[in-house]
A and B are shown apart, each in its own frame.
Chain A
Amino acid sequence: MVMSMLIKWFRGDKPAPDDSPVEAPAESPAEGSAEASAKSAEGAGSSEKDDGKASEKASDAAPGKISDAAPVKSPPSIPPVAPAIKLASDAIGAPRALTAEAMRRTVDPATLGFKTTSEIEPATGLVGQDRALDAIAFGTGMRALDFNVFVLGPPAAGKSTAVRNYLAGPAAARPKPSDWVYVHNFETPAAPNAIPLPAGRARPFAKAMAAALEELAATIPAVFEGEDYQGRRRAVDEEFRAAQEDAFTELTHRAEAQNVTILRTPGGFVMAPMHEGEVVKPETFAALPQEYREDIARRIEELQKELAAIIEAAPRSEKERRKRLAALNAEVSKRVVDAALAPVRAAFGELPEVAQYLASVGTGLISDIAVFLSSPRDDQVVPEPLDTARDPRLRRFLVNVVVGHDGEAAGAPIHEELNPTYSNLVGRIEHKAQMGALVTDFLLVSPGALHRANGGYLLLDARKLILSAFSWEALKRALKSGEIRIEQPSELASVLSTETLQPEPIPLDIKVILFGDREIYSLLAAADPEFSRLFKVQADFDDAIERSATNDRAIGGLVASIVQRHALKPVTATGVARVIEQAARLANDRDKVSIEIGRIADLVREADYWAAQAERDVIDASDVVKAVDSARQRADRIREHSQETISRGIVLIDTEGGKVGQVNGLSVIQLGDLAFGRPVRISARVRFGSGRVTDIEREAKLGGPLHTKGVMILWGYLAGRYALDSPLALAASLVFEQSYGGVEGDSASSAELYALLSALAEVPIDQGLAVTGSVNQWGEVQAIGGVNEKVEGFFDICKARGLNGRQGVLVPAANVQHLMLRDDVVSAAREGKFKIFPVATIDEGIAVLTGMPAGERARNGKFPEATVNRLVEDKLALYAQRARREWPASGRPSAGDELDAGETS
């Protein structure tokens, strides 16, 4: 029966009405030339040979057992594939091939309403991103630190540009934020003080302070060397020196008057009897009358007490002298310091915090006035002037401007930090090596992006932010606390102990706008509860917008803006039309257009280059096509290599003939921006078994979970379709041939099912066709991604080997709306050299692939004869019969039954 049906198909006869629920096709889409028929005959011959082997092997898998139990119909002789393709249409329940127009949606340049982009207004904002822009407007308008914005969207969608463009208006309307300076804290030097100043006044303040110091460096030595000061100092010195000396001299005179002299000893003073200016020898003194000796001794004792009193008074006197000198110095210093600081006070004294700081500076300068009076070193021929910027004793009187808005445009700052490391974000405390130690001071405090954007908007890339150690936590800390606190990362990690500072935190008033893709957003939302609390607004940029006449014209405006911004040549309407078509291709959707501005801009800029090469004044469609082709060609080495391995027979892919249990699947290889389709042979082997499909990819740990899921669904489909009331005593194995890098995704599940059905029915599959699409348990073919690349990948192989008019690809019907195929594919289809079949069900697909109707279950519960489903069901019934015989209890093997290697239940 099977054989007779196949002969009928070969002749082009219609199947019997009771066998087929579908009507005959209105036309046979691949009714080709005689040459095609001849090639088909060759292919059929070769297929017959191959499939004969396959059939032999299938029989070998369970030698004798099946025939012993229930004689099986002889496997059908291998039908010629080409006639089957000829019949692949309504006659066998197969879908019609798509028309060329369905493979690519083009734009009629005439509908754009301009000849070149020079005639239209460039787009000023984003196209089709109203929702995202509304969110940005809301988020940035909310005056709260926790209403920050996360802008989601694909890369190069123009998110940053759009946000900047939007923010320009609100930012300009806001006041310029304060400048901030760090100054020395005279009470706690390790905690520098932060002082706000009106915008634009920080640097003048710092300059004024530096100028004051310069002036002091010049005037203080002059004042202290001046006659006025020197005279007063001498007076003080003289007063105390004279007082002490006079006391000593007076004592000396009184002692001499009493014939007593005072002599210096190594440790102090000693007194002795004196005669004519010299000490009386003790032996001479001993000869004197006792009364006289006692009198001298008594006098010396009294004088010694007086001398002791004078010596005791010396330190007190010195202390008093120093006190008087200090008072004198302070008085003179104050006069000079006040004069030097007067201009600073006049310019900035109205600011309370500055006034308070200047008071501290004045006190500090007066107490440390000696700094300005350092003596030159001995080896200095010409004394160096005091370096107020470097001398560590004077640096503390300088001012560190951390935020200065002078010279900037009016309004709030919009700052984008491209490298949001911790230090770049919150600032850093730098160190200098000094005598082998790392030292720092407040002048080495450097601002971060938070400082620069304070009072305005900070734009950050979320991925870079979370990949930078400590940055994310630092940003959250700042937003939560409402202040910028500069801490050393080494302190946070507690890895390094060195001299450091704790600068006074600066109040934070900022709106943070994070940019990232949806993956990052989801990651943060899931992993960090604080994220949602701090970034309450999400601005979701669409990847693509609907294609319509209005939006086509909007894209024209976008192209015009790109031309204007990059000073390119005008683009003709045909050029814009090609850009729109390419944008649709980028969107992988014939009814949508990508609005990834970066990629569109790249395309137009590259087209501009090619227009210049062609010495054209405008960018035409051919330049856009050239740009697309060139970009692809530049990145095409891997694809070419992949194709070459197939062309040279290293990777085995058949593009004609028929094979049982073998089908061409399609995979997509993604390398950066480059994606291309690559055919892969999928094969299936079946035999009697315990009821399991062995996914060799999974067993070899090369299959991902989605792929495994797809294979499991096949089992559900087989059981539900063919073995509702009998055991599914099938052992099957599925493999992606010559696949060594792992398989993921379920887009090949329909192809695997086709291979399985082919193996069960022992009906060959046309190798001129390739398949993509996932399948559910009901046999419905579902949409997959990368349909364009997959189709083009198989087309390229066929084209390289020569298109024969019978080749094509089965795609899910739901993917037809995504088709934006290359021109050469569309042209080939238009010429009938290549076909695309939209497939909604497995039955449709198997009919196209085998040229045999799938068959629908009739009222008697049976599939019609000479249908794939009937053959499959018969084979499974045979297996079930045997299973009941071998495992009578349940139709399934029990624990003691021996299973084949690799087979588990």
Chain B
Amino acid sequence: MTAHVAERGEGRGRVVLRLGCVGPVSDVAIDAAIAVAKAFGAGIECLLVEDRQVYDAAAYNFTREIAIEDAGERHMSLDDLARQMALAARATERRVADLAGRAEIPIELRHVRDTPLGALAHACQIAGPWNVVALGEVATSATLARLEMLFDRVTGMTGVVVAGHRSPRQGRAPASVGPVVAVVEDPDRLTGMIRTASRLAGVAGSDVVVALAAQSRSALAWLAENVRQGIGGDRRVTVVELAQPGGGPAVLTEGLRRLRPGFVIAEFGGLAVPVANGGGALAAALDCPLLVVR
């Protein structure tokens, strides 16, 4: 499926930024969402999700909150929890509004109490299908492990933006921004991938690299031939063969890292982002945002 992001005013999609009301706000994640929105001229719907399950958990008399600062145990009161959630949501709202305002991106803020997945599914269903979901947290292997459930449950979206450790806002200078690397494993996806990559590269002023990945040497050769034919004489796009076939996700990830990408676009369920627990290596290796397309 070709990645598509709804442009502003399209009415059938946007960048949906999901932020929790717990834990610190990740500027890196917000920047990643903004970068995508800016590239496609889209708006951002910011979902501030109060996980209702936390309230359920707090209602048990035998549960304790384990403090992240000192691992201390304490009873949770629902009132305190609600107050803390509200305060965290308000602070997050201000931060997101500030960053989006600087980038001149229209933003709509919604504060909901639901499960994170449920809130996303509901939001994407309302204005689907060209939503891109941006997870408001820095990617970990656990994050990528949950992508399957996300793609399965949230139907009104075309892709997910997972933030790396490095913000696309850092190093605005073209010389310090890596290329937008589109990992192409299927020649049919080439056009859409290149278009998406080009728009992201246009914002940062960076280059576009098409990184080819295939299961076998012959498949890679075939893919390369097709891709080169598809690109034709477009000198703005560089094509590289990502890694020796058959090396596994780690080899492919290392190949990607060596390209020093500023943004990576990869297909969900492919070699780069396998369906089940295959994204761990990628998350660990990359420090740039990753757009995983359906």
Contacts and interface: CB of A to CB of B under 8 A. Distances in A.
Interface stretch (A260-268, A454-462, A509-517, A808-816): A260-268
Interface stretch (B48-56, B182-190, B237-245): B48-56
Interface stretch (A380-388, A605-613, A703-711): A380-388
Interface in A229-276: 234, 238, 241-242, 245, 249, 252, 261, 263-273
Contacts of A300: 62-63
A376 interface: yes
A312 interface: yes
B219 interface: no
Interface string A291-305: 000000100110010
Contact of B142 (A245, A278, A378): A245
B23 A264 contact: yes
A262 to B, nearest CB: 9
A304 B74 CA distance: 11
Interface string B67-85: 1111111001000010011
Interface size class of A (residues with CB under 8 A): 35 or more
B21 A266 contact: yes
B58 interface: yes
A304 B84 contact: no
Contact of B60 (A245, A266, A285, A375): A285
Which interface residue of B22, B66, B73, B142 has the most chain A CB atoms within 10 A? B66
Interface in B74-132: 76, 81, 84-85, 87-88, 115
B279 interface: no
Contacts of B54: 263-265, 270
A144 to B, nearest CB: 65
Contacts of A381: 173-175
Interface in B19-66: 20-23, 51, 53-54, 56-60, 62-66
A284 to B, nearest CB: 10
A270 B65 contact: yes
Contacts of A378: 170-173
A234 B282 CA distance: 13
B285 interface: yes
B168 to A, nearest CB: 12
Nearest to A249: B142
Given A270-B65, A300-B62, A227 B258 contact: yes
B226 interface: no
Contacts of A297: 60, 62
Given A234-B285, A238-B284, A265-B54, A282 B59 contact: yes
B229 interface: no
Nearest to A283: B59
A885 interface: no
B76 to A, nearest CB: 6
A245 B20 CA distance: 20
A862 interface: no
Contacts of B73: 304, 308
Contact of A264 (B22, B60, B258, B285): B22
B69 to A, nearest CB: 8
Nearest to A282: B59
A281 B115 CA distance: 13
Interface string B268-287: 00000000000000001100
B81 A383 contact: no
A268 B53 contact: no
A439 interface: no
B141 interface: yes
Contact of B53 (A261, A266, A304, A383): A261
Contacts of B84: 265-267
Q: Is the interface of A mostly helix, strand, loop or mixed?
A: mixed
Nearest to A301: B62
Nearest to A231: B254
B45 to A, nearest CB: 22
A311 interface: yes
A265 B141 contact: no
A378 B168 CA distance: 12
Interface residues of B, number: 44
B191 interface: no
A280 B63 CA distance: 13
Which interface residue of A227, A270, A271, A307 has the most chain B CB atoms within 10 A? A270
Contacts of B218: none
B73 to A, nearest CB: 6
A238 B280 CA distance: 11
Interface in B159-188: 170-176
B57 A312 contact: no
A282 B67 contact: no
Contact of B58 (A252, A270, A304): A270
B60 to A, nearest CB: 6
A458 B270 CA distance: 84
B22 to A, nearest CB: 5
B2 interface: no
B65 A268 contact: yes
Given A300-B63, A380-B173, A266 B71 contact: no
A337 to B, nearest CB: 26
A264 B20 contact: yes
B62 A281 contact: no
A687 to B, nearest CB: 108
B140 interface: yes
Contacts of A285: 60
Contact of B175 (A241, A311, A382): A382
Given A278-B53, A376-B176, A383-B175, A266 B63 contact: no
Given A311-B66, A376-B176, A245 B140 contact: yes
Contacts of B172: 378
A266 B24 CA distance: 9
A261 B52 CA distance: 13
A359 interface: no
A497 B15 CA distance: 59
A328 interface: no
A309 interface: yes
A562 B170 CA distance: 75
A308 B173 CA distance: 43
Nearest to B141: A245
Given A266-B23, A279-B53, A281-B56, A383 B68 contact: no
A304 B64 contact: yes
Contacts of A311: 66-68, 71
Contacts of A304: 63-64, 66, 73
Which interface residue of B51, B54, B76 has the most chain A CB atoms within 10 A? B54
Nearest to B59: A282
Given A261-B53, A264-B23, A308-B71, A272 B63 contact: yes
Contact of A263 (B53, B62, B69, B170): B53
Given A278-B115, A308-B73, A383-B175, A265 B60 contact: no
B66 A270 contact: yes
Contacts of A269: 65-66, 68
A281 B285 CA distance: 39
A278 B64 CA distance: 18
Interface in A536-595: none
Nearest to B88: A266
Interface of A: 227, 234, 238, 241-242, 245, 249, 252, 261, 263-273, 278-282, 285, 297, 300-301, 304, 307-309, 311-312, 375-376, 378, 380-383
26 contacts: A249-B142, A263-B53, A264-B22, A265-B58, A265-B84, A266-B81, A266-B84, A266-B88, A267-B65, A267-B69, A268-B68, A270-B54, A270-B57, A272-B53, A280-B56, A281-B56, A282-B59, A304-B63, A304-B64, A308-B66, A308-B72, A309-B71, A376-B173, A378-B173, A381-B173, A383-B173
Ranked 3 nearest A-B pairs via Cβ: A272-B57, A279-B53, A311-B71
Given A252-B142, A268-B65, A268-B67, 19 more contacts: A245-B140, A245-B141, A261-B57, A263-B54, A264-B51, A265-B22, A265-B65, A266-B23, A268-B68, A269-B66, A273-B60, A279-B57, A297-B60, A304-B64, A307-B66, A308-B72, A309-B71, A378-B173, A380-B173
